[in-house]
Amino acid sequence: NAGVTQTPKFRILKIGQSMTLQCTQDMNHNYMYWYRQDPGMGLKLIYYSVGAGITDKGEVPNGYNVSRSTTEDFPLRLELAAPSQTSVYFCASSYGDLRYEQYFGPGTRLTVT
């Protein structure tokens, strides 16, 4: 089991560029999440999904989009990158809702300049 994998590990974007952060899990989890973590801060939920074809906004969704066409994959799309999106992005998955632990990917470090 690879668990949760994320690509790329690092990326530098110019302002206004777009990119997709990839996330894949092999644990057959229904629930998947995208977070961002700014220096010295906790994780903020961007989007989440409770199953293929179902996504919903989290606390900080502006500037991002997601899709969930399969159970395994949950890509995060950044359109028109801005310096405020410089952060570490973590994807996570869990077996179910509130009671279940989350398994995190190793993160993507994104810098927008």
Partner 1 sequence: RKEVEQDPGPFNVPEGATVAFNCTYSNSASQSFFWYRQDCRKEPKLLMSVYSSGNEDGRFTAQLNRASQYISLLIRDSKLSDSATYLCVVNQFYFGTGTSLTVIP
User: 48, 40, 30, 27: which is closest to 90 by C-alpha?
Assistant: 48
Q: How many CA atoms lie within 13 A of 31 on its CB side?
A: 11
d(CA 51, CA 18): 25
107 binds partner 1 (CB under 8 A): yes
- Count of residues interacting with partner 1 (CB under 8 A): 22
Instruction: Identify how many contiguous H helices and E strands the chain contains and give both numbers.
Output: 0, 11
94 binds partner 1 (CB under 8 A): yes
47 binds partner 1 (CB under 8 A): no
41 binds partner 1 (CB under 8 A): yes
49 binds partner 1 (CB under 8 A): no
Q: Measured from the CB atom, is 15 or 56 closer to partner 1?
A: 56
14 binds partner 1 (CB under 8 A): no
Which residues contact partner 1 (rule: CB under 8 A)? 33, 35, 40-45, 48, 58, 90, 94, 97-102, 104-107
